[in-house]
Structure 1
Amino acid sequence: MKKSLLTLICLIFAVGITQAQLLPTFKLGIKGALGFSSLSSDGRFFNSDTKTGFQLGAWGRVGIAGFHVQPEAYYASKRVGVETDLNGGESGEATFKSFDVPLLLGTRIGLGPIGVRIQAGPVFSFAQDGKVNFTTATQWDRYKKTSTGLIGGIGADISKFTVDLRYEHGLTDLNESPDYNQKIRMWTIGVGFAFL
């Protein structure tokens, strides 16, 4: 009798979890993040050091059956340290200001308000003013206004709060010159709040 009762309780619990995962979910929130970026280059034109920038924006999440789509939109300031081979060597910083739109696909593991997420997807960047601000004596103005990349990472949900650790890998050569192959690489750690 006890085994039958225990089996029935486990069955009800399993059906409840399955039905909960089949119901669609929707979240909407705000986020902020610190970004640690560098600019890779295939040539010997310059070396890049990691500098700290930031992201501010909003996110949404639509999920069903344990999977979700999470579009985001945020303003990003990506800073990199630059050391060139020009004019006997120059050093300074470059700032890429952009409006970024990631489209992440992922899954969430957990029960109720606490869970862990794995996410990945493309990111589309649109330069704020089409320029890159360099603090070196040499000015470059041949940078593209749009670029794409891939983002992947892990995150945690604790009630309405979110925490994310991500890596962004640039796919687009940012410089219009065919002589340089420059791509953004960035780690971010962010926090967010879901108000829906």
Structure 2
Amino acid sequence: MKKILLILTVVFATALPSRAQVIPSFAFGIKGGMNLTSISKSGTFDASNQAGYLGGVWARFGALGFNFQPEAYITGKNVTVDGVKQKFTSVDVPLLFGGKIGAFGLGARFYTGPLVSFAINKDQNYGTAAGNIAHLNYKDQNYAWNVGAGIDIRSVSVDLRYEAGLSKQSYGTGSTKINLFNLSLAYKIF
């Protein structure tokens, strides 16, 4: 009898962590953080990195240890180009695909995916940028690719991400690709 109880205990103890990875799940939350922007340099082009910000919402759909995580947030990207400070503000929409390792509220995630960035500038406000997203107006958008990892501790997540610019953003009389690192803190609401 003791052997049967021991075997059942071992089976349930090992099945629960794997079950947590198999069951379909949904999570929604808010996130905020900072970024460090760098721009591609060419010729006599002189640029320096500066910190920016990000804030918005995320959702995560998962099953079998894999997940899909769409996000939407406002990002401020700051750089100094040839001694002139440039500020790029945008609504960013990453569509991330990845996996998760862990159970019982603790885990590590890794992910990658495309990002579409809708510019907000002097001629455009948040409502116009949101309208461009809803109507798939891609005239003022930029593309990037994200690669990153995160740690989940119950309802709190910390993410470190690299964003590689795929298209050029205009500034003044020029244009450049923007690359950045994001460090963000997220909170799962449900």
TM-score range, shorter chain: 0.7 to 0.9
Sequence identity percentage: 37
Residue 85 (structure 2) aligns with: 93
Aligned CA distance change for structure 1 residues 33 and 49 (closer, same or farther; 3 Å):
same
Tell me the amino acid that sits aligned with residue 53 of structure 1.
G
The change in CA–CA distance for 1:58 and 1:109 in structure 2 (over 3 A counts) is: same
Counterpart code for 1:49: S
What are the superposed Cα offsets for residues 100-157 of structure 1, whole Å, 9 maximum, x if unpaired? 00011111111111111111111000001377xxxxxxxxxxxx72110011111111
Match of 1:152 in 2: 147
Q: Give the structure 2 partner of residue 80 of structure 1.
A: 79
What is the rounded CA distance, in whole Å, between the counterparts of 1:192 and 1:47 in structure 2? Answer: 34
CA–CA distance in structure 2, aligned partners of residues 93 and 149 of structure 1:
22
CA distance in 1 between counterparts of 2:159 and 2:77 reads 18
For residues 1-196 of structure 1, what are the structure 2 equivalents within 5 Å?
A: 6-44=6-44, 46-83=45-82, 91-129=83-121, 145-175=140-170, 182-196=176-190
AA in 1 matched with 2:26:
F
Bigger mean CA deviation after superposition, 19-28 or 96-105: 19-28
**Retained in 2: the 8 A contact 1:69–1:105?**
yes
Number of aligned positions between the proteins:
176
Q: TM-score, normalised by structure 2?
A: 0.82
**Larger mean Cα displacement after TM superposition, 57-66 or 111-120:** 111-120
Structure 2 unaligned spans of 5+? 124-138
Secondary structure in structure 2 of the residue aligned to 1:41 = coil
TM-score (norm 1): 0.80
Structure showing greater radius of gyration is: 1
Which stretch of structure 1 is more off in the superposition, 6-15 or 154-163? 6-15
Please tell me the residue identity of whatever aligns with 1:168.
Answer: E
> What is the RMSD computed on CA atoms of the aligned residues?
2.6
Q: Structure 1 stretches of 5 or more lacking a match? A: 84-90, 132-143
Deviations 1:34-62, CA, capped at 9 Å, x for gaps: 01002113343x22110111001000001
